[in-house]
């Protein structure tokens, strides 16, 4: 497989409707056409402005190379959209806030937003990294990973070993409530719990530099290398 090396590969963790934090991150990072921006999924639910998040993602696509992954919350939204019997289950996990941002029921979600959720990727791979929303089986290639791992299973105290590809895995999904990036060397988790008083994280995977913003628009940045993080 041939890979085109971008100027930067910027990865952004779970956004969960936090449009203010996302806007601050984009303003600070200033992605360009020679940058690749990988979004780890969970754009929707829990935070106040899912609609605004999707509109910002589309603007980001106009100025950079965006790779949008699907998270478990997009899967729950799509199930509720297509099957009313799944609606209550979704509402219990943040769907109420999502529908409020659209101003109505599931029918108020615009078709192009539904298409965006449906067309997000399950995983992505570069020459040096693999990306998925939640977790992975270290012995299986990405195309054979079970959905239960890719979208649903949280990281346990004992992290999975390195992937058989030898590449660094980058995931979200498992909240780091202290706002600190989980960087184990072979595995990076960028879900830093933005919607619940935490931070939204973007990381330059080539340099380890990262940027974090909260829903008040406060920005901080630092560097992470092999499990250590320094914040300025």
Q: Kindly list the domain boundaries of the chain, sorted by start residue.
A: 8-231
DSSP string, 82-101: H-GGGHHHHIIIIIHHHHHH
pLDDT at 44 exceeding the cut of 50: yes
Q: Which two three-digit tokens encode residue 111?
A: 């078709």
Reported as a single tens digit per residue, the pLDDT across 166-180 is: 999 999 999 998 889
Q: What is the per-residue pLDDT for 231?
A: 43
Architecture category of domain 8-231 in CATH: 4-Layer Sandwich (3.60)
Q: Whole-angstrom Cα distance, residue 230 to residue 209?
A: 10
Mean pLDDT, to the nearest integer, of 37-41?
98
Mean pLDDT, to the nearest integer, of 7-30?
97
pLDDT at 156 exceeding the cut of 80: yes
Chain position carrying tokens 């940058």: 35
Reported as a single tens digit per residue, the pLDDT across 25-36 is: 999 999 999 999
Segment among 91-100, 110-119, 177-186 with least mean pLDDT: 177-186
CA distances from 140 to 60, 101, 133, 143, 220 (A): 32, 39, 16, 8, 37
Reported as a single tens digit per residue, the pLDDT across 47-85 is: 999 999 999 999 999 999 999 999 999 999 999 999 999
């Amino acid at each position: 497989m041939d890979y085109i090396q971008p100027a930067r590969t910027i990865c952004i963790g779970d956004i969960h409707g936090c449009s203010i934090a996302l806007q601050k991150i984009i303003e600070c990072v200033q992605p360009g056409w020679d940058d690749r921006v990988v979004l780890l999924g969970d754009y929707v639910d829990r935070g106040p402005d899912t609609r605004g998040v999707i509109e910002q993602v589309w603007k980001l696509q106009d100025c950079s190379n965006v790779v949008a992954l699907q998270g478990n919350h997009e899967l729950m939204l799509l199930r509720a959209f297509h099957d009313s019997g799944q609606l209550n289950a979704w509402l219990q996990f943040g769907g109420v806030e999502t529908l409020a941002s659209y101003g109505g029921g599931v029918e108020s979600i615009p078709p192009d937003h539904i298409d965006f959720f449906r067309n997000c990727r399950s995983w992505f791979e570069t020459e040096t990294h693999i990306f998925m929303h939640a977790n992975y089986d270290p012995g299986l290639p990405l195309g054979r990973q079970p959905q239960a791992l890719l979208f649903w299973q949280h990281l346990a105290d004992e992290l999975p070993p390195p992937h058989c590809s030898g590449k660094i895995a980058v995931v979200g999904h498992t909240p780091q409530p202290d706002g600190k990036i989980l960087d184990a060397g072979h595995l990076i988790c960028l879900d830093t719990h933005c919607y619940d008083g935490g931070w939204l994280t973007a990381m330059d995977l080539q340099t380890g530099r990262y940027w974090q913003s909260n829903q008040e628009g406060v920005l901080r940045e630092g560097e992470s290398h092999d499990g250590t993080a320094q914040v300025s």
